[in-house]
């Protein structure tokens, strides 16, 4: 039981690309006051929790609605997630314009598509569809929420992390995260490919 929690937690933590999210958060909120920045971090965290849990719980119904097999989606999601990871590893990040105090940037673009992008959406749908049983589903959802809360805490203390690590340190951590995401993406892709070839 605990193995499911920790496996899901670690996968979700890296898939949410926390250090890339921190860099984007700092860039977009640099014109805000500390209070506004903390309020935005809280909004982002709540939005990502809602989006992630909904995708995780109802992914299988999306497959049924469109008649998509899980393995076909694994291949597509793995490829998209791998491309996102390559962008992180190569440092080909986007330049974000700073938001102003009256801009509500918490849901768009911070929660989606910066933190929950196409690759993350695909991974959530695949991971949610492979869990069976209510107890495992509740445990896995708890792990997803815990991972998002961890990222939210990092956003909340992002100013301190920037002073501690510096811009270069954040970029290095973002690239290391990209390597882990690439490994997860490859696993999703090759699992789908193997099952697709066997069927």
CB 187 within 8 A of CB 21: no
In this prediction, residue 94 carries a pLDDT of: 56
- CB half-sphere exposure, 77, CA atoms < 13 A: 25
Q: Write the Ramachandran bin of 67: left for phi over 0, alpha for psi from -120 to 50, otherwise beta.
A: left
> In the structure, what pLDDT confidence band is assigned to residue 59 with cuts at 50, 70 and 90?
confident
**CB burial of residue 76 (10 Å; 0-12, 13-18, 19+):** middle
Q: Helices 158-198 and 34-66 sit at what angle, rounded to 10 degrees?
A: 10
What does the pLDDT read at residue 6?
94
Upper half-sphere CA count for residue 2 (Cβ side, 13 Å): 0
pLDDT for position 82: 93
The pLDDT, as a whole number, for residue 133 is 86
- Tell me if 111 sits within 8 A of 48, measured CB to CB: yes
Supply 30's token pair. 């640099």
Q: Is pLDDT at 92 greater than 70 in this prediction?
A: no
Average pLDDT over residues 49-68: 89
Q: Domain residues of the chain, as ranges?
A: 2-26+36-91+105-198
What percent of the chain stands above pLDDT 90? 66
Assign 104 a pLDDT band (cuts: 50, 70, 90): confident
The pLDDT value recorded for residue 103 is 56
pLDDT at 113 over 80: yes
User: Mean pLDDT in the chain?
Assistant: 89
| Stated pTM of the model | 0.88
Q: What is the per-residue pLDDT for 111?
A: 95
Give the Cα-Cα-Cα angle 11, 191, 136 (nearest 5 degrees). Answer: 50
CA 143 to chain centre: 13
Q: Indicate the pLDDT class of residue 89, thresholds 50, 70 and 90.
A: confident
pLDDT recorded at residue 4: 84
pLDDT number for residue 49:
97
Q: Which helix (H) or strand (E) holds 43?
A: helix 34-66
Q: Could you give the CA distance from residue 197 to residue 199 in angstroms, rounded to a whole number?
A: 6
**What's the pLDDT at 138?**
92
Instruction: Write out the H or E segment, with its range, that includes residue 21.
Output: helix 18-28
pLDDT at 102 over 60: no
């Amino acid at each position: 039981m605990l193995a499911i929690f920790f496996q899901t937690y670690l996968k979700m933590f890296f898939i949410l690309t926390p250090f890339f999210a921190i860099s984007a958060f700092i860039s977009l909120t640099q014109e805000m006051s500390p209070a506004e920045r903390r309020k935005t971090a809280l909004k982002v965290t709540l939005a990502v929790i809602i989006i992630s849990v909904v995708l995780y719980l109802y992914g299988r119904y999306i497959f049924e609605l469109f008649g998509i097999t899980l393995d076909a989606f694994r291949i597509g999601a793995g490829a998209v997630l791998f491309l996102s990871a390559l962008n992180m590893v190569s440092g080909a990040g986007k330049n974000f314009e700073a938001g102003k105090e009256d801009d509500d940037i918490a849901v768009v673009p911070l929660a989606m598509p910066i933190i929950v992008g196409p690759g993350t959406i695909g991974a959530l749908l695949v991971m949610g569809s492979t869990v069976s049983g209510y107890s495992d589903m509740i445990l896995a959802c708890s792990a997803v929420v815990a991972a998002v809360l961890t990222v939210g805490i990092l956003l909340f203390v992002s100013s301190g992390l920037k002073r501690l690590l510096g811009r270069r340190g954040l970029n290095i951590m973002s690239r290391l995260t990209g390597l882990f995401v690439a490994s997860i993406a490859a696993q999703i892709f090759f699992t789908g490919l193997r099952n697709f070839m066997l069927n």
